[in-house]
Amino acid sequence: MEELKSMDISCSRQRVAKLMKTGGLTAIQPKSFKPRTTESRHHLGYSANLLLDLEEPALPHRLWVGDITYIPVEKIGFGYLAVLMDRFTRRIVGWDFRDDMTEALTLNALKKSIRIIQPAVDLIHHTDRGGQYAGKAYRKVLSRAQMLQSMSRAGDCYDNAFMESCFGTIKNELEMTEYKSIKQAKRELTEYIHYYNTQRRHSSLGYLTPAQFEAAA
């Protein structure tokens, strides 16, 4: 509906539904399944949750949230996607996809984000309590970039609900079943994330894309 409005095409919801039915199209419905990728039983230490008393950010790149999800890949079972997203604009600022869920996965996504955005000091970086975010190498990069590390409370998935929603959107809109290879999955994720940032309209952003919303801010 909003895409049609942006092209100055007047069309009711009922008309869209009728045309979709005629064309044999159905809307993608989100699924409730939630994979588990957090291993918080480690001895690397945890950071406090800085979001509990924090107001919503009013500018881009003051708060990044991150997480890991898994994606089915033929023969190897699963590949793992690590994402960092700007909470204000919903822009995916950095990501990586690999066949393992080690610190290297999240570290590569973090380094890409810093290299592309070059954020100001005291940006809050919030994730769950997984060991991939608590390692020495990861914390060293955060410290060098002068970011403030924040972690969710133990066992509370709602502390990082924005990332859960982001992953749900990615998986539903890509209609993921099982990729044939890491290479194929990475190619499709690259295309989709570019679309997500520059073309996909978000209702929470007044039906602007993350790129448009960031430019307006």
For residue 38, being part of any structural domain is answered with no
**CA nearest to 202, candidates 81, 58, 92, 71:** 92
Tokens encoding 157: 């998935």
In a domain, 124, yes or no: yes
Q: Which range of residues forms the domain containing residue 206?
A: 63-216
What does the pLDDT read at residue 41?
Answer: 61
Confidence of residue 155 (pLDDT cuts 50, 70, 90): low
Q: Evaluate whether residue 106 is within a structural domain.
A: yes
The pLDDT confidence band at residue 153, using thresholds 50, 70 and 90, is: confident
CB neighbours of 169 closer than 8 A, spacing ≥ 6? 30, 196
Q: What is the mean pLDDT of residues 188-217?
A: 97
Confidence bin at 35 (pLDDT 50/70/90): very low
Whether residue 22 is contained in a domain is answered as no
- Whether 55 is covered by a domain: the verdict is no
How much is the average pLDDT of 8-14? 69
Mean pLDDT of all residues in the chain?
88
Q: Does 28 or 154 have the greater pLDDT score?
A: 154
- Cα 217 to its chain centre, rounded Å, is 20
**Residue linked to tokens 């033929």:** 74
In a domain, 126, yes or no: yes
**Is 2 inside any structural domain?**
no
CATH number of the domain residue 187 falls in: 3.30.420.10
Q: Specify if 92 maps to a domain.
A: yes
Average pLDDT of span 61-89: 96
C-alpha triplet 112, 182, 169: angle, nearest 5°: 70
Q: State mean pLDDT over 100-123.
A: 97
In total, how many domains does the chain have? 1
Confidence grade of residue 69 (pLDDT, cut at 50, 70, 90): very high
In this prediction, residue 216 has a pLDDT band, given cuts at 50, 70 and 90, of: very high
The stretch 17-38 carries a mean pLDDT of: 60
* Helix spans in the chain (H): 2-6, 13-22, 103-117, 136-144, 161-174, 182-198, 210-216
pLDDT at 29 over 60: no
